[in-house]
Structure 1
Amino acid sequence: MSRAGKDAVRRWVAEMVGEGDLDVADELFPPDLAASARQWVAPFRASFSDVRMQVVALVAEGDQVAGRFRCSGTHTGTWLDHPPTGRRFDVDEVYFFRVDGGRIVEMWGLEDTAERLRQLGLA
């Protein structure tokens, strides 16, 4: 399962977040979570049109995957009710996933929103 779990997470990063392919949610998440995944990714990509998320490290054990990521982008659309600043952010993020049958069935994220706001000149 470790390999399938890591592969699902890599696809989420590359295809959904990186390329903006929201249709891949139907392959990566069970039906009850696919819509939620799209609802999270779509507005984030609209706010940061050049968003880039890089996998720094993935560790898997059983059905659990932990990942450290580097996320960057330019604030080109409204985000958290803040109009675009045109400024860039570059922050570390950590996510934990539970994968079942090659699909992400649970996901918890730790993002440094305060640092992102500071870099965008919003805090």
Structure 2
Amino acid sequence: MVQQLNVEEQNKGLVRRFVREVVNGGDYDVVDELFATEYVRHDPSLPEEKRGPEGFKETVEMWRTAFPDVEMTIDAIVAEGDLVAFRATETGTHEGTFMGIEPTGKRVELTGNVMHRLEDGKLVETWASFDMLGLMEQLGAIEMAR
């Protein structure tokens, strides 16, 4: 049991490092270190699954280009076995084109849930779901009926 707890804590540490250094810090070299070559991301906001470290770099680059000051905060994190799940809040200023929406200069905040599967100390699979509808409303791309 102690060994499993240690692995789960190590996995949570790896996910925290990934958020700190890659998402918030833009250090793409860390992706090559932390992501398995067979990595796959399942995300309903993307037109297709992203595969491998390069696919993940494309996803982060899309966000960091549109929101250069993007910052993700892990609000809660849990681990069980080879899975690490967290609830997050992302903030940023819309300064670049995002999904066809020209820069608005608006400060945005969105929440989401992410689950990673790790194997041999590497991220191999991700399921991510963020409040893209809320983001589109904040950017003025849609208007919600009230």
Query: Identity of aligned pairs, percent?
Result: 39
RMSD of the alignment, in Å? 0.9
Counterpart of 1:2 in structure 2 is 8
* Shift in Å, 1:31: 2.5
Structure 1: runs of 5 or more not aligned:
none
Alignment of 1:91 onto 2:110:
yes
List structure 1 segments (4+ residues) > 3 angstroms apart after TM superposition. Answer: none
SS in 2 for 1:41: helix
Matches within 5 A, 1:55-70: 55-70=74-89
* Shift in Å, 1:53: 0.2
SS in 2 for 1:122: coil
SS in 1 for 2:109: strand
Q: Which has the larger radius of gyration?
A: 2
SS in 2 for 1:96: strand
Counterpart of 2:29 in structure 1 is 23
Once residues 114 and 52 of structure 1 are traced to their aligned partners in structure 2, the CA distance between those partners, rounded to angstroms, is: 19
* Shift in Å, 1:5: 1.3
- 1:112 paired residue among 131, 135, 143: 131
Counterpart of 2:20 in structure 1 is 14
Once residues 111 and 78 of structure 2 are traced to their aligned partners in structure 1, the CA distance between those partners, rounded to angstroms, is: 16
Structure 2: runs of 5 or more not aligned:
1-6, 39-51
Deviations 1:19-78 (A, max 9, x none): 101110011101242111101101110000000100111100000111000101010000
Count of residue pairs the alignment pairs up? 123
Q: Scaled by the length of structure 1, what TM-score is found?
A: 0.96
* Shift in Å, 1:105: 0.5
Once residues 117 and 90 of structure 2 are traced to their aligned partners in structure 1, the CA distance between those partners, rounded to angstroms, is: 21
Q: Scaled by the length of structure 2, what TM-score is found?
A: 0.81
Matches within 5 A, 1:27-46: 27-32=33-38, 33-46=52-65
Q: Residue 4 of structure 1 aligns to which amino acid in structure 2?
A: Q
